[in-house]
A and B are shown apart, each in its own frame.
Chain A
Amino acid sequence: MNKIKSLADLKKLQTEVQSKIKLREMGDHSETLIQIKVSMATCGIASGAKETMSHFIEELDHQGIDVIVTQTGCMGYCYAEPTIELTIPGQQPVVYGFVNKAKAQEIIEKHVKLNEMVDGIIPVNYSSIDN
């Protein structure tokens, strides 16, 4: 490691390393952030959920948008894998099916950035016991 020579250098290093702990800071105020859960059961992974998840993480990071991306278990829509659930704070969660890289990109551009829903939504067909 080279020595930090000035305040400007320190600030530069700070921005560089911030991304490493950003995930932890996001966890601190998770209730205000958009959350994307990627269904990562066997069926999801076999259909490419890992690639979808990586794409979300990389693209959102690249664009500098704070979104919590986590994995979750099978949502039951095995025919439509990879599936994701997107929650905007204060709104009902929305589930998308067949989310490949291109679809993920579309979701980021439209739903995450503009709050406009895109095609491919799986309608809610169950009620959950906790709400």
Chain B
Amino acid sequence: MADYNMHILVCGGTGCKASQSELIKSNFKTRLNEFGLSDEIQVIMTGCFGFCEKGPIVKILPDNTFYTQVTPEDVFEIVEEHVIKGRKVERLLYKDPESKEHIVDTKGMDFYKKQIRIALRNCGFINPENIEEYIGRDGYAALGTCLSEITPDEVIRMIKDSGLRGRGGGGFPTGLKWELTRKSVSDQKYVVCNADEGDPGAFMDRSILEGDPHSVLEAMAICGYCIGADKGLVYIRAEYPLAIERLKIAINQAREYGLLGNDILGTGFSFDVEIRYGAGAFVCGEETALIHSMEGKRGEPTVKPPFPAEKGYNGKPTNVNNVETFANIPVIINKGAEWFASIGTANSKGTKVFALAGKINNVGLIEVPMGITLREIIYDIGGGIKDGREFKAVQTGGPSGGCLTKSFLDTPIDYDNLVAAGSMMGSGGMIVLDDSDCMVAIAKFYLEFTLDESCGKCTPCRIGNKRLYEILEKITEGNGKVEDLNRLRMLSSVIKDTSLCGLGQTSPNPVLSTLDHFYDEYLSHVTSHKCIAGQCKALMHYSIDVDKCTGCTLCFRNCPVGAISGEKRASHYIDQSLCIKCGVCFAKCKFDAVLIA
């Protein structure tokens, strides 16, 4: 039989692969083979489904069954029950957290209901290592149409009309960028794909490259056609081995099929793509630093202008776009600018991929229309806060962004609203915080990251951030003073004003934004030396309730520094000068006699 009558899709994203999805796939193959069903049922490894919280994911089609948290051992039951007898394996189906009912079909899952998948259209649907599956999904049709039927100016017009803005964070209009690079006169131009995804917690670019690498290659070729470049470079960090491997396979297949290389589709247009590896420096996501890194120089930013559109890689005009931006291009060409512009808000069109992380039930990758509210993302798609705790804030835009508090839950999310709210879109990481997260510690965490990642070129960024960090450290250790809060603000504004590139200009943002929204929390750290969230260990005070203590000596025996003393069957006592606030006594006590203040 030529066609398979059942498809089993196994998630091959990095997350699910780490949970043995490779073995799940091979178990399926062996088992189906044993039953003589290999010719009837196809097993495919796809890209990320986005529902990483419940991985590894297995989806069975055509009946659209969605199995979660599948183990390699479960495969036998799925084959014998579902495949052979047609009975779904109930215990592996997704359970609705509210109604507690098993949901068979992805369409019934709240996680997918509000999503519109454009950039992720093929992730979790096609085999990323097979170009024919991409072609079957209108793949390379946009490139073919552009090359044969539309002039570069018209294509740029379309991209401009669609309203697509850069998805890497800045939100610069993509069509305009292409036009500027097209206007630069040169014998050689370059198309660069920025796959140097560095925000902590963001993994959309990696997932697109892992799940649908051809969409990026196709868009790069379209860009090359528009700006007059015959060479494309993907700058990707070496710590994304799976994305690199799939990208390599994709490039080779595209060359084999004549969709990259010389004289593509007989139109005389030539374009080829090469990979350049980055060492994972955050600053190399900044386009000038990225270009320097590709040239083999230090990954340090330089002053703009000249913009890369005029003088970029090797001094030639270069168009740099982010992975997700590129992934939108083929769809815009195929479905039209008007269709794309009909999704989203006035100044932010289309969709945005967000990586949900932190204290949220459904951790994963989602693609939602611009203009959706934070409430819909967190409560409808994300399934609410973990362990029923209270929502405190969402950190967006990574180390360059800020946090959005409860009062922004109903603000439609787009580029401009996020900036107005004191944060930014960034590449789309969303870290959800609950009432047990200390905002001072969060600001410190991000600053620690920028401190590490600062390239050291500008003094304000190199030294200023270090000083900021030290002040925050002082505050979390209980040695802060009220003046320190003003000092934080002053130093932050100096760093913002005097740094050269985006990294330095935005590095104090998490500090400023938490100061704005959670001033009380800072204040209680410095005045009453209390951490409301109970996260700053140094501010905690452990003591033993004399009435509850039975003198079992469990805390005494477990204390690593010998700070606890007391006789058997008599109340114990903690010597505060010795206590290191490790919390072991609290964890060990069986009578709730250890108190934390």
The interface of chain A, by Cβ under 8 A from chain B, is 1, 3-7, 9-11, 13-14, 17-21, 23-24, 26-28, 30-31, 37, 40-41, 53-54, 57-58, 61, 68-73
Which A residues are in CB contact (< 8 Å) with B258? 3-5
Question: Which residue of B9, B61, B132 contacts A17 across the interface (Cβ within 8 Å)?
Answer: B132
Contact between B63 and A20 (Cβ–Cβ < 8 Å)?
A: no
A-side interface mostly: helix
Give A5 to B87 CA distance when docked, in angstroms.
47
Which B residues are in CB contact (< 8 Å) with A61? 3
Cβ-Cβ contact count across A and B, 8 Å cutoff = 103
Q: Is B98 an interface residue (CB 8 A)?
A: no
Contact between A70 and B133 (Cβ–Cβ < 8 Å)?
A: no
Give A121 to B559 CA distance when docked, in angstroms.
77
Query: How many B residues touch A, CB cutoff 8 Å?
Result: 40
Which B residues are in CB contact (< 8 Å) with A19? 3
Q: Is B257 an interface residue (CB 8 A)?
A: yes
**503-523 of chain B: CB within 8 A of chain A:** none
A-B contact pairs, 29 of them (CB 8 A): A1-B257, A3-B256, A3-B258, A4-B259, A5-B265, A6-B265, A7-B144, A10-B144, A10-B265, A14-B141, A20-B132, A21-B137, A23-B5, A23-B61, A24-B7, A24-B9, A24-B125, A27-B61, A30-B64, A37-B86, A40-B86, A41-B85, A61-B3, A70-B62, A70-B86, A72-B86, A72-B87, A73-B86, A73-B87
Q: Is B147 an interface residue (CB 8 A)?
A: yes
Which B residues are in CB contact (< 8 Å) with A41? 85
**106-141 of chain B: CB within 8 A of chain A:** 107, 125-126, 132-133, 135-141
> What's the nearest-Cβ distance from chain A to residue B183, in Å?
28
Question: Which residue of A13, A37, A53, A72 contacts B5 across the interface (Cβ within 8 Å)?
Answer: A53
Which A residues are in CB contact (< 8 Å) with B141? 10-11, 14
> What's the nearest-Cβ distance from chain B to residue A117, in Å?
24
Contact between A23 and B4 (Cβ–Cβ < 8 Å)?
A: yes
> What's the nearest-Cβ distance from chain A to residue B570, in Å?
63
Q: Please, which residue of chain B has its CB at the minimum distance from the CB of A4? A: B258
Given A6-B265, A72-B87, 9 more pairs with CB closer than 8 A: A3-B261, A4-B259, A6-B148, A7-B145, A10-B135, A11-B144, A20-B3, A20-B132, A27-B64
> What's the nearest-Cβ distance from chain B to residue A85, in Å?
11
Contact between B133 and A10 (Cβ–Cβ < 8 Å)?
A: no
Q: Please, which residue of chain B has its CB at the minimum distance from the CB of A26? A: B62
Contact between A30 and B3 (Cβ–Cβ < 8 Å)?
A: no
Which B residues are in CB contact (< 8 Å) with A26? 61-62
Q: Is B578 an interface residue (CB 8 A)?
A: no
